[in-house]
Amino acid sequence: MTLPHERTRAVAQTYEFLGKLARNSNLPEEVRRDALDLLRHFPNQYDVTKAGANEERLSEVPHLFIDPVFSSSCV
């Protein structure tokens, strides 16, 4: 089972990886363009940890049965 902090870290690392692909001039233009297109709508670390913080707050509300998908921390 993947924990929220593991999922958060994986999304943040994927964002960084796509950025590396987009900037790597040794790769074909199509690969770099595809990576850049994906990055346009992909959440960065701030977005994901912010969503995690919101989910953690919601999980503390009585009678709301929510399991956070993301975490406010990548560790």
Average pLDDT estimate for 26-33: 98
Would you place residue 67 in the very low, low, confident or very high pLDDT band (cuts 50, 70, 90)?
A: confident
Residue 28 pLDDT greater than 90, yes or no: yes
The chain-wide mean pLDDT, for the chain, equals 93
Residue 22 pLDDT greater than 90, yes or no: yes
DSSP codes, the chain? ---HHHHHHHHHHHHHHHHHHHH-TTS-HHHHHHHHHHHHTS--HHHHHHHHHHHHHHHTSTT-----SS-S---
Q: What is the pLDDT of residue 29?
A: 98
Given a contact cutoff of 8 angstroms between Cβ atoms, the answer to whether 14 and 47 are in contact is no
**Domain assignments of the chain as residue spans, ordered by start:** 4-59
Residue 57 pLDDT greater than 80, yes or no: yes
pTM (2 d.p.) = 0.84
